[in-house]
Each structure stands twice: as structure tokens, then as C-alpha cells.
């Protein structure tokens, strides 16, 4: 881990306007991060590269600890059962074609593995621990269940029911919140086929497709290897980078979504499918979505985004994959009415 260094500022602008706000300076880490997670109400950020775990304090990004990962990391998260003296977290990783989740504790400056679940993906969303078993037709194609973890890890996490979602929703590619007046619940999802952002509203008889973007969102350099034999081996992108947050004065939630842009054909031949990225804030108004603000187009890729208190954390992996620049910025009312 390199010593923390100030990162350049990234402008945030309202569409078709002059720059309105800039991201605060973050740090530069000499590794290629594949996921991040922040713990509220604590002051800890978890980040994983393909081979290593990192724990930082927030908001100063002081390194607390680092450790190795067996296999290659795919995702991570911090459990709400954590306490200031004992941070509980997990790392989803792949070894050969097996996907597994390891649970850890961070106590007295040391990282210890305390639990394990085979053939399952995990994610923390709105404080809840979600689980999706590795599918047969596609790795992330099964039902998503809400689980409860035993803080002592004397037993495996137990299911507390299935989360209601539109069919074929991948664990990491959605967020849900009350996007409309009256507390109506919606799901914003990045689809696998065209990477369009789709918004669904929960009705009494199922899910109503409300809006679909023209632009592509998500996209990831992290991929899952899947297939019964080498000849049928396929690679599935673990697309992340979507969250719900209250960005303005009304009680309804808005959508934050990252978009990784495809690189040139020549660059893709060298193994980097994406080389530019952007984060956009969207406000749902009836059956349409309005862009509140967006960052400039950034050089590199965004593996995920995280909300910590009233701040947005954005890791940007440089095109060469040797460094990750991590930014943090307040998102409390970042756009004035005149910007809309």
C-alpha cells in the first residue's frame, strides 16, 4: 500500500451548465480495487483488490489494516452487527470456478476469518444482509434472500425470507427505495443484456416497468468464470455501481449510477474493455427520469460507489490497473433549483 496521496479534484456539473461542484480530494492506492463498502454509523471503509483486503478510517483514509485473499475477490461488505471495537465484514471470492464467501472480524488491529459460506454471493443493502446462491444457467440468476448473521458466527447466516424483486435481478446490479410520493417502492436495475438502467414500480399484481434509459450503465472489469467444462466456460461481469440517496429537499429518494464506457477496439484487444467512467444522479418524476448532475468523464473505471453519511465515495481505477484514486464528496443538496 502506497502512502496516501491527494487525488485530483473531479468536477460535478449540472447538465448543460458550467461546473457546479467539485469532489473533495481523496487518496491514491497502489492497487486495482474491485469493490468498496462503508459502514454507518462508524468511520470505517472496506476496500478489496483482486488479492488483498484494505481497511481505512473515514474521512481521512488512514490505513487501519491489510490482508490477503484466497482466490480472486469479487465483492465485499460490512455487517450492521459491527461495533467500534469489532468490525464484521465479508469478502466474496472465486477460486478456479468456485464462488465462496468468507466472513472476517477486525479486532485490536488484526483481521481474523470467522466464518465461511460456499456457493453463495452476499451483499449489504440498506443495512440488510442479502444472499444469492450461485445459479446454474447464470451465476447471479436465482432468488435473493434476506439473511441474519450470528455475530459470534457459531452458525451460518439464516434466511429471513425472499426479497421481492423483478425476475432475473442480479444481486449487485440493483437498488430499491421509495422513489415517488406516497412512499411507493421502486427498483432501479442495470440489465445484463444491454446495460440499460430500468426502473420498476411495485404494484399489487407485480412489477410495472416505468422507465428505461437510452444510455448504458454499470459495466465491470470483474468477471465470474462459470461453466461445467473448459470448453463451455463463460465469463459474467459483476456489474455494480448503483445506489439510492436523498439528494434534494423532498422526501423521495434519487438514484446514483456509475457508467463505465467501452474503450476502443485496440484497447480491448489488450484486455481493458472500459477506459472511461462517469457517475450520474437521477430524479424520478412520474414515468421519466431527470438528470440532476453528473461528474465529468473520468479516465479509468469505477468498480462501485458507496454512500457514507452524507458523502459519496468513488474509486477510479486507472487505465493501467496499477492505481486506484478514491474520492469522497458531500452529496447533501449538491444541486440548487437553478441548476435544474
Label each residue of 41-98 as H, E or C.
CCCEEEEEECCEEEEEECCCCCEEEEEECCCEEEEEEECCCCECCEEEEEEEEEECCE
* Residue 296 near residue 302 (C-beta atoms within 8 A): no
Which set of grid coordinates corresponds to residue 227? 461453466
pLDDT value at position 22?
Answer: 53
pLDDT at residue 305 in the model: 96
HSE-up (13 A, CA, CB side) for residue 148: 4
Neighbours of 231 (CB within 10 A): 6
CA distance 280 to 330: 15
Retrieve residue 260's grid coordinates: 463505465
Share the mean pLDDT of the chain.
86
Which of 340, 326, 338, 333 is CA-nearest to residue 28? 326
Q: What is the largest CA-CA distance in the chain?
A: 57
How many whole angstroms separate alpha carbon 12 and alpha carbon 295? 4
pTM: 0.89
pLDDT at 30 over 90: yes
**Residue 17: what pLDDT?**
47
pLDDT in the model for residue 303: 96
Per-residue pLDDT tens over the stretch 90-140: 999 998 878 999 999 999 999 999 999 988 999 999 999 999 988 766 788
Amino acid at each position: 500500500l502506497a502512502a496516501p496521496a491527494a487525488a485530483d479534484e473531479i468536477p460535478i456539473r449540472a447538465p448543460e451548465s458550467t461546473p457546479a461542484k467539485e469532489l473533495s480530494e481523496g487518496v491514491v492506492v497502489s492497487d486495482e480495487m474491485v469493490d468498496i463498502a462503508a459502514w454507518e454509523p462508524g468511520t470505517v471503509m472496506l476496500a478489496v483488490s483482486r488479492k488483498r483486503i484494505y481497511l481505512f478510517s473515514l474521512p481521512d483514509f488512514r490505513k487501519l489494516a491489510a490482508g490477503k485473499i484466497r482466490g480472486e475477490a469479487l465483492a465485499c461488505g460490512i455487517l450492521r452487527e459491527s461495533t467500534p471495537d469489532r468490525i464484521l465484514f465479508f469478502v466474496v471470492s472465486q477460486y478456479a470456478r468456485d464462488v465462496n464467501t468468507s466472513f472476517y472480524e477486525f479486532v485490536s488491529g488484526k483481521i481474523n476469518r470467522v466464518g465461511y459460506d460456499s456457493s453463495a454471493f452476499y451483499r449489504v443493502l440498506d443495512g440488510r444482509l442479502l444472499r444469492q446462491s450461485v445459479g446454474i444457467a447464470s451465476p447471479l440468476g436465482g432468488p435473493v434472500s434476506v439473511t441474519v448473521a450470528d455475530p459470534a458466527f457459531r452458525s451460518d447466516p439464516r434466511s429471513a425470507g425472499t426479497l421481492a424483486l423483478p425476475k432475473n435481478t442480479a444481486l449487485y446490479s440493483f437498488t430499491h427505495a421509495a422513489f415517488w410520493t406516497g412512499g411507493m417502492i421502486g427498483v432501479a436495475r442495470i440489465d445484463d443484456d444491454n446495460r440499460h438502467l430500468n426502473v420498476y414500480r411495485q404494484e399489487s399484481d407485480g412489477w410495472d416497468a416505468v422507465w428505461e434509459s437510452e444510455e448504458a450503465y454499470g459495466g465491470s472489469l470483474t468477471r465470474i468464470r462459470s461453466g461445467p467444462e473448459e470448453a463451455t466456460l463463460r465469463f459474467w461481469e459483476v456489474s455494480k455501481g448503483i445506489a439510492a440517496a436523498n439528494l434534494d429537499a423532498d422526501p423521495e429518494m434519487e438514484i446514483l449510477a456509475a457508467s463505465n464506457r467501452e474503450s476502443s477496439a485496440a484497447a480491448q484487444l489488450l484486455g481493458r474493455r472500459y477506459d472511461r467512467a462517469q457517475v450520474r444522479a437521477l430524479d424520478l418524476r412520474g414515468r421519466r427520469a431527470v438528470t440532476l448532475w453528473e461528474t465529468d468523464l473520468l479516465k479509468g473505471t469505477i468498480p462501485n460507489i458507496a454512500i457514507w453519511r452524507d458523502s459519496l465515495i468513488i474509486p477510479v481505477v486507472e487505465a493501467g490497473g496499477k492505481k486506484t484514486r478514491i474520492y469522497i464528496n458531500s452529496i447533501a443538496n449538491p444541486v440548487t433549483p437553478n441548476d435544474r
